[in-house]
Amino acid sequence: MLNGGGNHDSVTKQGSDWTDLFRFEKSLYDLIRGLRQHKGNEKAYINQSLKECRQEVRNVDGDVKATAILKLIYLDMFGYDMSWASFNVLEVMSSPKFVHKRIGYLAAVQSFRLETEVLMLTTNQIKKDLSSSSIYDVSTAINGLSHIVSPSLARDLSTDLISKMNHSNPYIRKKAILVMYKCFLQCPELLRTSWQKLKEGLNDEDGSVVSATVNVICELARKNPRNYLPLAPTLFQLLTTSTNNWMTIKIIKLFATLTPLEPRLIRKLIPPITNLIRTTPAMSLLYECINGLVSGGLLAGIADTQEGEELAKMCVEKLRAFLEEGDANLKYVGLLAFTKIVESHAHLVAEHQDVIMECIDDPDISIRLRALELSVGMVNSDNLQQVVGKLIRQLKPINEALDPLSVEPYAPVDEEDMEEGLHPRSQPSRPQVEQIVLPESYKVGVIRKILEMCSREMYANISDFEWYLDVLVQLVRYCPPVGMREGNPDDYDEEEDDEEPKNTDVGEDIGYELKNVAVRVKDLREEAVRAAALLVERRDGMFPSAGGGGRRVLGAAGWIVGEYASLLESPYETITALLNVSSQTLPPDILAIYIQAIPKVYAALAGIQYAAWTPERRTTIALLTDRIIKFLEIPATSPNLEVQERSVEFLELFKLLAQAINAHAADSVYGPPLLTEALPALFTGQDLNPVSAKAQRKVPLPPNLNLDTPINPNLHLLLSASELDISLTPDEQADYNSYYTRPKPVPLKALSAASHLDSVLSSSAPTPSSGGYQSDDSYLDPDILARRRAERRRVNLDDPFYIGTPPTTSQTDHDIDNIPTIKLDLGPTPDSAKETKKPKKKVKKANIVMDENLDGDEPEDAISPGGVAGKKKKKGLLVRDDPLKGFSIVPTKEEEEERKAIQRRMEEEAAERERALAAQQAAAQPVEVEKKKKKKKVKAEGGDDGEKKKKKKGKKAEGVEGEGGKKKKKKSKAKDEGVVEEKESLI
């Protein structure tokens, strides 16, 4: 006992030492302050703090352990893993103090994952907290469970959570309903067992519980809305009686998912939603009402009625107020709603074109993108040119955009009508637009949207294809620069990924449209060839070698000048541009097109059959042929197989032509037949018409075609032998290095085509006039405007109503006798005012060639820029399969049969276990009888008195044993039935 007193003193002293030790431990505040004091050495300080936390979490003191966990939570946000303290977190969760328990659940929320080993140990703790009498403990447990719930936790705690949905406190009822949604995601079968309780939440007396229930049902309806159609009457009553805007928004979203399944709801929902649109002052509710009308198909359901037209007009007018507000968020959601409603009521959206086009100049790039997307849907034949002009002005460099007259030609000499010529108008005042540096990706998006809106529905909105060709040429000049990938042919890989690279050149899309117009619109084919020839001939000035955008359009331009070489105005200049030495630096696919176009232009230039074979013509063609041979000798050894094959074939052809020209008699009347007959026959024939992609897919493959068979089975041996042969002459080595060891180009400053073209146009651009009138074509460059004026003068040369001054007319000398005069009859006629109006010219609709199809196929109306079909979007790495998608509350027949099969199998297993247990008991019973007999024999030797006592005891024992046996059988039977019932509940 004396020693016991000494031990007590030592324990007391040791406890005081531990108290003094942890009295000076750092709190969370000290940790944060220490991090700020150790700037530049935070890592060492954090490592030291982690060592201290590892010691503190082992302490028996709950305050010290909770503080250590709190510090670990803070450090975990910096990326320092705290999963090693999972068990310590569980200990803090089980603390009786609410302050500690809250820290433990917070740490579990932040660090526990589905693969955490101690997650299964939290089941009993959460059960205990859910059954607590404190609403704070229950609330903390529910909140923590919503973040760490797993399939096993959802199944094990479902009974407790369903019971909390009837809790006396509405705060707990609300949280229990909300956490059930997370449980449904992990275990969809719980939706069937808790469905009745969930429906009761819609009739709860507390508004927050009703709102929580509507939120859960709204989220569930996104997965399978058919399950919730029976709730439509209750939800409609809530829609008409609720004063909570946020719950009303959720109900409208819910009905938007139900109306496609039940069209009869449309007529029922139109009056209350229309009333909300007219009366609500809340912008959020107004937007959701309009969004619900559009996304739910309500407007489309009454689109052909007067009521639907009035409702759509009211929605569009309400959305206009969003755009007129100064708030950027309201502008964004307003444009978003406009984008949805333009699909069904584009004519109503086009009426508000003024405010929509103002958003294109907004400083916020996200608002610009939404307005750009909306502009595609609202254009028509009347406003297409105006919208395109607005978008092209955005692509101009800032210096040109700030001073539009710097790129405007002298305009007053060529007015289009009498009023403008006699009374020139002043420069219209335009609002000052804040100039910002637009990202290159936005410029690419603008160009692609222009191409999309122009080519929509097989060019249904274009009435002037000459204007469209000028727009395409202008877009080439404003293509944003791309990386060096476009400049070096060796950087190209023929087998690229399916995904579009970020640094692509939008010039390829422009080239596709240029080719499409040339092939489909035969009346404007000559104009398309002229535009393509312009791109080919002015390539050096338009496309700089360092980062110049738009170079990919040269592929389509080269194809057009080759395919329609007979329409070229100056084929000699075109073939000179094709044979330029800079063509050798083009990408391989474009170079291959150029090589294919050279003999076609050559045949159109030199292959005229009945042209006189004069010495001048003979010399010119011979020099041109020799020049082509020298040009083709370089790509004939190209590493690109396509370029090499075409070069070698045409090189041999032109060598034969050169021999024929030299061998042909100089005094012959006509040229050699190989030049005038054989060569043109290679490229003449039927017109090349567009073919539908569906028709191409239906063409059967030849039976003996096998694309996997190698052309040369010994190709690998030939390549190996060529690698071993390293004996090259100095000239061969130089050629080898020029193609296979090409030095990397020096990176220069990236320039756009428009910037590079300024120096070219500066010498030919006319002097601007300060008082000139700016026409609607101000977004086009001066050379394009000058060509349009010249064409307009040529067309209107004999028009007596056209008062345009020819540019060559002297301003001082006038021939008065040659002035045309018109006799005017100014008699008093009542309709004289109507007769003075100039009739509007009717624009002739161009004939567009449709796609050729096989018999029975319908033509395709839409054209995708670039000719690339829509690709299926790949599933993201963070997107997982939703277990609730398609899940039905009512079990299907297959599920019911499967459940019954499982139940029968479980009953058979239970009966088999019962029989096995009875067999074991029967096997053990004879042994017990023999032992009893032996005991009786031993006791019988003790006398008669002993036998009587034993008989009495034996009778009592037998009675007790009989009753016990019956009790044991009842218990085992009840136990088996309980197992069966438990397994049935799991099913």
pLDDT digits (tens, 9 = 90+) for 597-618: 999 999 998 878 677 888 888 8
Average pLDDT for residues 292-315, to the nearest whole number?
87
Average pLDDT for residues 889-900, to the nearest whole number?
71
Residue percentage of the chain with pLDDT more than 90: 37
Select the more confidently predicted residue: 400 or 877: 400
Average pLDDT for residues 571-578, to the nearest whole number?
92
Q: What confidence score (pLDDT) does residue 438 get?
A: 83
pLDDT digits (tens, 9 = 90+) for 760-782: 444 444 433 333 333 456 667 66
Quick check: 393 pLDDT over 70? yes
- Binning pLDDT at 50, 70 and 90, where does residue 709 land? confident
Quick check: 750 pLDDT over 80? no
Which of 506, 393, 408 shows the shortest CA–CA distance to 452?
506
Handedness of CA 80, 83, 87, 93 (dihedral sign): positive
User: Among 269-273, 280-284, 373-377, 428-432, whose mean pLDDT is lowest?
Assistant: 428-432
- Please give the Cα distance from 191 to 180 (Å, whole number): 9
Single-letter code of the amino acid located at 387: V
User: Among 251-260, 366-375, 679-688, 859-868, whose mean pLDDT is lowest?
Assistant: 859-868
Q: Report which DSSP code applies to 521.
A: B
Q: What confidence score (pLDDT) does residue 837 get?
A: 42
Q: What confidence score (pLDDT) does residue 894 get?
A: 72
Q: What confidence score (pLDDT) does residue 902 get?
A: 76
User: Among 264-273, 649-658, 834-843, whose mean pLDDT is lowest?
Assistant: 834-843
- Please give the Cα distance from 72 to 53 (Å, whole number): 7
Average pLDDT for residues 77-91, to the nearest whole number?
92
Q: What confidence score (pLDDT) does residue 778 get?
A: 63
CB-CB contact of 601 with 578 (8 Å): yes
Q: What confidence score (pLDDT) does residue 804 get?
A: 55
Q: How far is CA 618 from CA 325, 528, 621, in A?
A: 74, 31, 5
Q: What confidence score (pLDDT) does residue 911 get?
A: 84
User: Among 429-438, 766-775, 952-961, whose mean pLDDT is lowest?
Assistant: 766-775
Quick check: 660 pLDDT over 60? yes
Average pLDDT for residues 147-156, to the nearest whole number?
93
Select the more confidently predicted residue: 826 or 727: 727
Average pLDDT for residues 372-379, to the nearest whole number?
89
Place of tokens 């274009």: 462
User: Among 381-390, 609-618, 692-701, whose mean pLDDT is lowest?
Assistant: 692-701
The 10 Å CB-count burial string (b at 16+, else e) for 181-202 is bbbbbbbbbbbeebeebbeebb
First to last CA, the chain: 63
Q: DSSP 3-state assignment of 901?
A: helix
pLDDT digits (tens, 9 = 90+) for 495-510: 344 444 445 788 899 9
Average pLDDT of the residues of the chain: 76
pLDDT digits (tens, 9 = 90+) for 609-646: 677 888 888 899 999 999 999 999 999 999 999 999 99
- Please give the Cα distance from 473 to 450 (Å, whole number): 13
- Please give the Cα distance from 447 to 396 (Å, whole number): 12
Q: What confidence score (pLDDT) does residue 922 get?
A: 81
Residues 6+ apart with CB under 8 A from 869: 693
Q: What is the dihedral of CA 613, 616, 621, 622, to 10 degrees?
A: 110
- Binning pLDDT at 50, 70 and 90, where does residue 930 land? low
- Binning pLDDT at 50, 70 and 90, where does residue 130 land? very high
Single-letter code of the amino acid located at 370: R
As a whole number of angstroms, the longest Cα–Cα distance in the chain is 171
- Binning pLDDT at 50, 70 and 90, where does residue 926 land? low
H-helix segments, 492-610? 507-520, 525-537, 539-542, 553-563, 571-578, 588-606
Task: Find residue 691's DSSP bridge partners.
Answer: 852
- Binning pLDDT at 50, 70 and 90, where does residue 684 land? confident
Q: What confidence score (pLDDT) does residue 984 get?
A: 42
Average pLDDT for residues 391-412, to the nearest whole number?
56
pLDDT digits (tens, 9 = 90+) for 411-432: 333 434 333 333 344 444 444 5
Q: What confidence score (pLDDT) does residue 447 get?
A: 92
